[in-house]
Amino acid sequence: MQGLLQGLGRRALAGSAFWLGCLRMVVAAIRSIAAPGAAARGVIRRVTIAQIFFTGAQGLPFVTATALVVGATMMIQVHVAAPGMPGEIVGNVLVTVVLRELAPLVTAIIVASRSGTAIATEIGNMKASLEVIGLVALGIDPARFVVLPRLVAVTLSVLVLEVYFGLLALAGSLVVAAAFGTPELGAIKDGLAATLTPADLALFAVKGLGCGALVGTLACYFGLEVKSSSTEVPRMTGMAVIRCVLGCVIYNFCVTVVFYGLFADFARPM
């Protein structure tokens, strides 16, 4: 019993240290926004734009393919499992499942597996090869130069890619529905219009920004956790991806529960 309690205590302490470390890193990055230095701001802006390109623009092909396939698969499932389902209900299902749940979660998982690994590996290698301490020696704050651009880029990219994923997944579903001829496209559109509420915009923003911030934070944190050996890099990268995916799944669940509790219209069945 005592051993169990000690184990739980150790895990609780390690968990607190982990989240405190993440928080400290994010606070340092956010505080650096207000730090003086017009020239530094220009450099950071350029790094951020490059990171948005790597994370957002270069991630488009993967998100496009995944969204189209997910949307099409949903409609094939409907056609096979519930052939007579009215179009309005199909529209309702597309909003509740694809837009509200799959779009934020799948987008975050794609970004975590693609850019999260890249960021954790890059920063880990920078730590191992003394690049990060070299930056400090040059008077460059790593929280500002390394963490902030990646945090901003991943957060914004997940939000934008989430919207893009949602639209393309709907398009994929509608194309399959049109190919099968049932349900009628008009009825599906009516179902979409009836189910979507203004609160969906808030849900999209909260899930996109939250998942993005989570992926960016964890990828940077585990990269910076590398001490001095390059052999630590793959271990930290693996941990970063696992924590990113798990974190996003739990966050997604929590936000869904809160939104359905807050907005009665949101949970209205067809």
Partner 1 sequence: MADGLVLASVTFHRGPLVVLDGANVRLPRGGTLVVTGANGVGKSSLLQLCAGLVSPEAGEVTMDGISLEPHSAEELVRRGIRRACVFQQGGLIANLSALDNVALPLRYHADVLGLCEPMIEERARFCLGAVGVAPSSMLAQPGMLSFGIAKRVAFARAMAIEPNLALFDDPDAGLDRENAEVVEDILKSYRDDPSITMLVATNHRALIEHLGVTAHELVGGRLVRLDRATMPPSSLV
CA 230/CA 235 separation, integer angstroms: 10
Rule CB under 8 A: say whether 14 interacts with partner 1: no
Dihedral sign from CA coordinates of 35, 40, 43, 47: negative
36 in the Ramachandran plot: left (φ > 0), alpha (ψ -120 to 50) or beta?
A: beta
**Binding range to partner 1, per CB under 8 A, among 99-107, 108-116, 125-133, 174-182:** 125-133
Rounded-to-integer distance, Cα 111 and Cα 116, Å: 6
Q: Assess 234 for contact with partner 1 (CB under 8 A).
A: no
| Residues 15-34, mask of contacts with partner 1 (x by CB under 8 A) | -------------x------
Nearest-angstrom CA–CA distance, 235 and 12: 22
DSSP 8-state symbol, 152: H
Q: How far is CA 111 from CA 66, 106, 216, 233, 244, in A?
A: 12, 9, 9, 19, 10
38 interacts with partner 1 by CB under 8 A = yes
Query: How far is residue 151's CA from residue 217's CA, in Å, rounded to a whole number?
Result: 6
- Does 144 bind partner 1 (CB under 8 A)? Our answer is yes
225 binds partner 1 (CB under 8 A): no
- By CB under 8 A, tell whether 126 contacts partner 1: yes
Q: Which of 3, 36, 61, 84 is close enough to bind partner 1 by CB under 8 A?
A: 36
Does 140 engage in binding with partner 1 (CB under 8 A)? yes
Q: Please identify which residue in 35, 57, 242, 254 interacts with partner 1, judged by CB under 8 A.
A: 35
Question: Where do contacts with partner 1 occur on this chain (CB under 8 A)?
Answer: 28, 35-40, 42-43, 122, 125-126, 129-131, 133-141, 144-145
